[in-house]
């Protein structure tokens, strides 16, 4: 390689490194500047600039968000991911180790212990996979370098700054998923501020390392979303051949049993015609399962908007 080419190569590499460094420093990002102007009444401008100087753009986060959506899994395939002997055994162990806290949370919030345990199991394998990204890196990357969802993630970034202020936490230290979800139950910042609780009274709602707070927070989330203690979640059903396919597996609880019977959906258990339900069809290894999801099923889908997720939690 001649001297001229070497010089060009060095120049290109230097420029590339400089650009990378500039992009990584969100304190000078134009969109970040606008963000600061909007929230500086709620959070100190100097603090935000200092934090943004230490926040790093993570291309792997953008790559994860841009991955083609998974093909729609059947219930049979989805179930195998979450309902397996190893995870079930881990769930039993988690329950036994935290039985006193689970009982306390269940009594206070009216949410069955098995639902709390199932949520934490599905979300993080009982705390084994809580996420390794700094939350600040995830939220700045998605707020300022991911236009498709920037509006949503800017709201989460503001909530994150506020929760750190309220809880006296270092914004550069907290870890989470590539989408900024945090702790045992994978709360996004806005959910944390609304539903995370200090269940052991130590002054910090620590959903990252404190199982009592994590358990109490999940229970509180379900309670605040209208969980009804002791009510069924799903029931088996029979569908007429003429049933309306457009209503199946939709997460809308806007029809009652009386309405559904008239259009081909029949519960196999006696239920009041006034009870609301949503029709479900699951493709299992044994063929199709016909079900009606009731109010508590719908509440589970408020945690994650997927009927398959809700079934994994239920089973």
What CATH number should be reported for the domain holding residue 254?
1.10.530.10
Instruction: Name the catalytic one among 114, 123, 166, 283.
Output: 123
Residue range of the domain that includes 32: 22-66+131-190
pLDDT tens per residue across span 248-304 = 999 999 999 999 999 999 999 999 999 999 999 999 888 899 999 999 999 999 999
- Which of 243 and 24 is assigned the larger pLDDT? 243
CB 116 within 8 A of CB 219: yes
183 shares its domain with 50: yes
Q: CA 72, 75, 76 angle in degrees (round to 5)?
A: 110
Smallest Cα–Cα separation from 182: which of 214, 151, 142?
214
53 shares its domain with 150: yes
Q: How confident is the model at residue 20 (pLDDT cuts 50, 70, 90)?
A: very low
pLDDT tens per residue across span 170-219 = 999 999 999 999 999 999 999 999 999 999 999 999 999 999 999 999 99
Look at residue 205 and give its three-state secondary structure. Answer: coil
CA distance 315 to 83: 8
Look at residue 69 and give its three-state secondary structure. Answer: coil
pLDDT tens per residue across span 186-196 = 999 999 999 99
Look at residue 68 and give its three-state secondary structure. Answer: coil
36 shares its domain with 174: yes
CA distance 182 to 197: 14
CA distance 83 to 62: 29
Q: Is the dihedral of CA 155, 160, 161, 165 positive or negative?
A: positive
CA distance 50 to 32: 12
CB 163 within 8 A of CB 189: yes
Task: Name the H helices within 25-74.
Answer: 30-39, 45-54, 59-66
- Using CB atoms within 10 A of its CB, is residue 211 exposed (0-12), middle (13-18) or buried (19+)? buried
Domain assignment present for 16:
no
Angle at which helices 30-39 and 135-144 cross, to 10° = 110
pLDDT tens per residue across span 91-111 = 999 999 999 999 999 999 999
111 shares its domain with 141: no
Report how many domains make up the chain.
3
Q: Span 43-65, mean pLDDT?
A: 94
CA distance 75 to 79: 6
Domain assignment present for 298:
yes
Find the distance separating the first CA and the last CA of the chain, reported in whole Å. 65
Which are the contacts of 87, defined by CB distance < 8 A and separation ≥ 6? 121, 125
Domain assignment present for 290:
yes
57 shares its domain with 145: yes
Examine the residue annotation and report whether 123 is marked as an active-site residue of this protein. Answer: yes
CB 176 within 8 A of CB 182: yes
CA distance 215 to 116: 7
Tell me the pTM: 0.89
CB 72 within 8 A of CB 190: no
148 shares its domain with 276: no
185 shares its domain with 246: no
Look at residue 252 and give its three-state secondary structure. Answer: coil
55 shares its domain with 186: yes
């Amino acid at each position: 390689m001649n001297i001229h080419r070497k010089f060009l190569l060095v120049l290109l590499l230097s420029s590339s490194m400089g650009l990378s460094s500039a992009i990584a420093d969100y304190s000078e990002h134009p969109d970040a500047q606008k963000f600061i102007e909007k929230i500086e009444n709620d959070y100190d401008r100097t603090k935000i600039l200092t934090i943004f100087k230490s926040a790093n753009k993570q291309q792997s986060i953008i790559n994860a968000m841009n991955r083609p959506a998974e093909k729609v899994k059947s219930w049979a395939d989805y179930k195998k991911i979450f309902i397996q002997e190893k995870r079930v055994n881990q769930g039993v162990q988690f329950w036994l180790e935290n039985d006193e806290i689970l009982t306390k949370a269940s009594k206070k919030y009216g949410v069955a212990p098995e639902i709390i345990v199932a949520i934490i199991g599905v979300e993080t394998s009982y705390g084994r996979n809580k996420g390794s990204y700094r939350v600040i890196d995830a939220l700045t990357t998605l707020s300022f370098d991911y236009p498709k969802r920037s509006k949503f993630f800017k709201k989460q970034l503001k909530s994150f700054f506020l929760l750190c202020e309220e809880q006296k936490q270092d914004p550069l230290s907290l870890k989470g998923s590539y989408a900024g979800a945090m702790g045992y139950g994978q709360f996004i910042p806005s959910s944390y501020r609304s539903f995370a609780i200090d269940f052991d009274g130590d002054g910090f709602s620590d959903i990252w390392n404190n199982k009592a707070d994590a358990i109490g927070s999940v229970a509180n989330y379900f309670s605040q979303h209208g969980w009804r203690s002791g009510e069924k979640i799903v029931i088996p059903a029979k569908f007429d051949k003429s049933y309306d396919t457009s209503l199946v597996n939709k997460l809308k609880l806007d029809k009652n049993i009386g309405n559904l019977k008239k259009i081909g959906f029949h519960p196999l258990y006696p239920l009041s015609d006034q009870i609301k339900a949503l029709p479900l069809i699951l493709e299992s290894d044994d063929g199709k399962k016909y079900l009606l999801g009731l109010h508590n099923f719908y509440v589970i889908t408020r945690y994650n908007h997927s009927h398959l997720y809700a079934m994994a939690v239920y089973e």
